[in-house]
Structure 1
């Protein structure tokens, strides 16, 4: 099984204006590009399947892909907001399974026992379970996660000229995100 990003988030949990306030740079625009780059890096470090949190921060779509039917498909991220089940039939035509043929329980899609599993085209992504994950509104992202993003981006900005040695670390970062980390199975 593979886990792939289908649709990236279009919003961020923290914006440039918040970061500029945090680093006391609200009164000039000279560093906006570099601040945005550090903000994007901090969000990317935490967000999504490969992020250190192993969860979706803002609304995005991820697919669990498989080449054969199974009783259930689990998305190792949360929060799950919705799901759709698609497959490629024997003629390699994409089909959508009606939502009456499965149920979502937490992060797991369970096929109904009465669901007749159709034959599949031989391809690695013959089945795609597309999960909609993340928060719709940045206000719904936990404050601790947003604070950690600000700390990381500000640390990158403050120490951008560092040569040699260890990269800047703020012990508060790990304390803030530890309750939200998701360990992948």
Structure 2
């Protein structure tokens, strides 16, 4: 089984950081440099949230689909992001290259210290798939919950700190890197990547 990609299928249900929160943190009035502040918010969140974020987590509830070249050899199918709220569907292309839906009774959602996974029911076996990169698609909802307040306060605070750090007028910063001081705050939330 080779993981092809993870695709965001729906946006977060709420903004983790609002423009008003960032303005208050930066001591800026309404309409004062809003475009730049909004851009910095997007940059900060892209460093933290989703598959490409350093945390390896979805923050506010959002939809994702993991595509794989086939089912695993063992009974566990790891899910890329944590925390997983629900599994919407598991679809696959059978040996005849016809798309099928795997019965929800064939698997259960499980969690351990390395994250979420689907565990195959002992009475089932993974079906054979057609030889294609996107043979299996696992669609799921991930995140701490539908509201920004569901996200741990340490993550919300670190996101605001990052916005403040990157906003400093007249200072050029590399938004491809997260400063060490923020990494220390976030260390316990970082999930290993597959």
Which range, TM-score by smaller chain?
Answer: 0.7 to 0.9
1:101 match:
106
CA distance in 2, matches of 1:164, 1:55: 24
- C-alpha separation in 1, matches of 2:52 and 2:21: 25
Mapped to 2, the partners of 1:142 and 1:132 lie a distance apart of: 18
Check the 8 A contact 2:16/2:156 in 1, yes or no: yes
Question: Number of matched residues?
Answer: 182
Deviation at 1:163, TM superposition (A): 5.3
Whole-angstrom distance in 1 between the partners of 2:177 and 2:91: 45
SS of the aligned residue for 1:49 comes to coil
Whole-Å Cα distance in 2 between the matches of residues 142 and 122 of structure 1? Answer: 41
TM-score (normalised: structure 2):
0.82
The answer as to whether partners of 1:147 and 1:176 remain within 8 angstroms in 2 is no
Closer, same or farther: CA 171–126 of 1 in aligned 2, 3 Å: closer
Over 3 Å counting, the alpha-carbon distance change for 1:172 and 1:85 in structure 2 is same
Q: How does 1:47-126 map to 2 (within 5 A)?
A: 47-70=49-72, 71-83=75-87, 84-106=89-111, 107-126=116-135
- The answer to whether the Cα contact below 8 Å between 1:75 and 1:108 also exists between their aligned partners in 2 is yes
Q: Aligned to 1:177, which of 141, 161, 186?
A: 186
Query: Unmatched 5+ residue regions in structure 2?
Result: none
The answer to which of 43-52 and 6-15 deviates more is 6-15
For the residue of structure 2 that corresponds to 1:81, the secondary structure is strand
Question: SS of 1:114's equivalent?
Answer: coil
Q: Secondary structure at the match of 1:3?
A: strand
2:154 is the counterpart of 1:144: yes
Cα shift readout 1:137-165 (whole Å, capped 9, x = no counterpart): 11111111111111111111114x33599
